[in-house]
Structure 1
Amino acid sequence: MFSMLIIEDDDIIRRGIVKIVSKMDLPITTIEEASNGLEALEKIRQMVPDLIITDIMMPFLDGLKLLKQIREWELPSRTIIISGFDQFSYAQEAIAYGVGAYLLKPVKKDKLYQVLHKFIQGLTKESTHHKTASDGSQFGHDVGFITRYLEEHYAEDIDLNKAASLVFMNSTYFSSLFKKMTGVSFIHYLQKIRVEESKKLLSNHQLKIYEVAVKVGFSDEKYFFRVFKNTTGLTPNEFRLLKTK
């Protein structure tokens, strides 16, 4: 499963792209949104999305400066520029920052699908490679330590910054390294553990849904519902009912 961040200051266009992508037959399970470059930077730091679609002209921080920052962080995200500017200078600068595709507005569904499908194929191959490759380096041990730590401390208040500090790394670099070695982002790895543990607790009908959420590390019940459904395709209530039949 792959994650995506869509960055566009025009609400109608952004929501339209979300709707288009969500209907595509692609393994994209998480779609987040940002309406400007600064908001996007914060979300990128938190989730390290597999796929990024961004406009160029945005308030606070434009798309090209955003791409430059992503490149400096050495993140593995695949990026797509969408723009109303059919100018070679924009495309040339975007390519220099590692953008994977430059699409003109209005975005054509078939073209967007082709680009996303190609990117996902590449990400899938990389993920398979990283999972099968053996790594005895210190970095490999550090990531292994964190995965074991998460399995034991998933219910605690732990985030990317805390995990990175445990192995004395910069959070952005650690996030990129974790994804390269496990095939998924830190937050997805943690969420998967929490969802699996919540499934066990949901069999206990004496526990309310919000109590299950808290016991596995979610402080927000609505967020727990969203993550659970994105992961399993069912709401916690639906899952509980299914298991009682």
Structure 2
Amino acid sequence: MRAIRQTILVMLAFALLLGGVLIIVALVRDRPQDLPWTRLDLSQKVGAFTGRKIAGLTDDFAECRALLRAAGVAYTVLPPVRSGEQCGYADGVRFAPGGSRTIGFSPANLGTSCPVAAALAVWEWNVVQPAAQKHFGAQVVGIEHLGSYSCRRIYGRSSGDWSEHATADAVDVAAFRLSNGTRVSVLVDWSKGGEKAKFLREVRTGGCRLFSTVLSPDYNAAHRDHLHLDEAARGEMGWRTCR
């Protein structure tokens, strides 16, 4: 009788395990972005491993460019830049004017590392535009920035760790322009409350799923006028810092 009971328990455990596997497969079969071993698809909704897969592109420029093309993003490849031992990049791209599925940046000469460009595109489609519709009933038609590449250490100090800007692996976003003429500024609107402040916090938090580091005015005064977004392997402050 004891042996029969044990056999039944084993069978029940196996059935539960099999059922759990089938449920998981059913849940993720249309969401490959939720699996760590599937190839990244920038056109898919953000999944559990999307951000880590984008960060992993720092070592594969060819794959990053291929993923941009597959997602319908038009871009130009920037010539390599080298300045000393710590500064420069070899994987720079710039969104092409009027490129498919991209919005305008101001100034228009924004060049970033390819992984940052990939994260910016996915951020716009899945975070920024939905948030603009939610809070303003409008589209974002332009993003104002403070630049990407800058050969400097963190905070411009004379010593210490080098900034992710030194390799174009970061971009500082200052404001958003909407189709209804509204302008949402990090410097002006972050602390005012209302829909603009809610929008800014929503796009900040949404960016944390795609960028290694996201720093806002909540972090310190140095970020009072922008959102710092970087796609370093671990980020300036550690993996997945969101402040």
TM-score using structure 1 length: 0.22
Structure number with bigger Rg: 2
Greater share of residues in strand: 2
Greater share of residues in helix: 1
TM-score using structure 2 length: 0.23
